Amino acid sequence: MWFKNLQLHRLPAPWSVNPEQMQKWLAPHAFAPGNSVEMQSQGWASPRDDDSLVYTLNGQMLLVFRAEKKLLPASVVTQVTKARAADLEDQQGFKPGRKQMRELKEQVTDELLPRAFSIRRDTRVWIDTRHGWLVIDAASQAVADEVRALLVKSIDQLPLGTVRVAHAPVSAMTGWLLSGEGPAGFTLDQDTELRSPAEGNATVRYVGHTLDTDDMRRHIEAGKQCMRLAMTWNDRVSFVLTPSLTIKRVTPLDVLKEASDPTAQNDDERFDSDFTLMSAELDRMLADLLDALGGEQGSGQGAGSLATPQAATA
């Protein structure tokens, strides 16, 4: 249930949308498997494998973006196309020209598509209507872009904005490494990456290694800046912070795993319990993280702010 990555976006807080309205928006764009001639298809799927495209509990919503892509290796298409071209050359007495080769390749692709394997990818979206968060569980910016594009297509005038903070994550993370301490409520873990913005991009990475303050100071005085930093919030959630304010490798720690409702009787109750716990903890963690970055400076909300989200400074 826990999101592994947090691509952060802002909504009005509170956002007055109900499950019925959300279902109405998503339904015209529900996922349907691609037909025999479509390379890929995408749409909204049910989070609980029922008739609803939106799962809602206590003002928290969960959506699922589903993409299906057919696997048709270019090498296979090329191999079959060459064989067909050789047969055609024997028949007509000369090699096929560019136009004929293009038509042959299109014909081969159409013939092979129905036999191609399909893979599906589900990407979850968490909407906190109370505190104004829309979070996409995607490590890849390209995947997040696909999800945002369908959100905009599905929801007319979606008031989606960027997260703007007073202190850029790069300068904040560099300062924390220099002092050897995280901000209030956070501890520094043993993974980080420092990179020089100068030509050459000299980079130093620490993985599972003690971040010695003297070592960090030498790298920073040499002009390097922190580009990734592993942290833990209140001994409850570990994660990696990035310059764009995308949060990766989100992991609930043992104290939260033990907090799961032991009285849950079935899958539905466990799902409810896990979703409630995740949304509550991440809400608190994000609030503390924004404070650690100097506070939020305005959401940039509105349809015009739907460019790729960046951590902006005021």
Determine the angle formed by the axes of helices 213-221 and 169-179, rounding to 10 degrees: 130
Q: How far is CA 304 from CA 91, 111, 143, 160, 309, in A?
A: 58, 43, 20, 9, 12
Does the pLDDT value for residue 302 go beyond 50? no
Mean pLDDT of the chain: 88
State the pLDDT at residue 310.
47
Per domain, the residue ranges of the chain are 74-114, 164-300+307-313
Residue 42 has pLDDT above 50, yes or no: yes
Beta carbons of 158 and 195 less than 8 angstroms apart: no
How does 184-199 read in b/e, with b if 16+ C-beta sit within 10 Å?
ebbebbebbbbbeeee
pLDDT, tens only, 236-248: 999 999 999 999 9
Confidence of residue 92 (pLDDT cuts 50, 70, 90): confident
- Beta-strand relationship, 312-313 and 164-165: parallel
pLDDT of residue 263: 65
pLDDT at position 70 is 80
pLDDT at 265 over 70: no
Alpha carbons 45 and 124: distance in angstroms, whole number: 10
Q: How far is CA 52 from CA 19, 25, 126, in A?
A: 9, 12, 15
What mean pLDDT comes out for the span 9-20?
93
Q: 302 to each of 23, 143, 144, 261, 299, how far by Cα in Å?
A: 21, 22, 18, 38, 9
CB environment 111-125: b (16+ within 10 A), e (fewer): eebeeeeeeeeebbb
- Of 27-41, 114-128, 198-212, 292-306, least confident by mean pLDDT is 292-306
Q: Rounded distance, CA 122 to CA 275, Å? A: 17
pLDDT tops 90 at residue 250: yes
Burial code of 294-303, b = ≥16 C-beta within 10 A, e = fewer? beebebbbee
**Sheet containing strand 203-206, strands side by side:** 203-206, 186-195, 225-233, 237-241, 247-252
**pLDDT above 50 for 304:** no
Q: Structure tokens of 53? A: 């495209």
3-state secondary structure of 121: strand
d(C-alpha 58, C-alpha 98), whole Å: 61
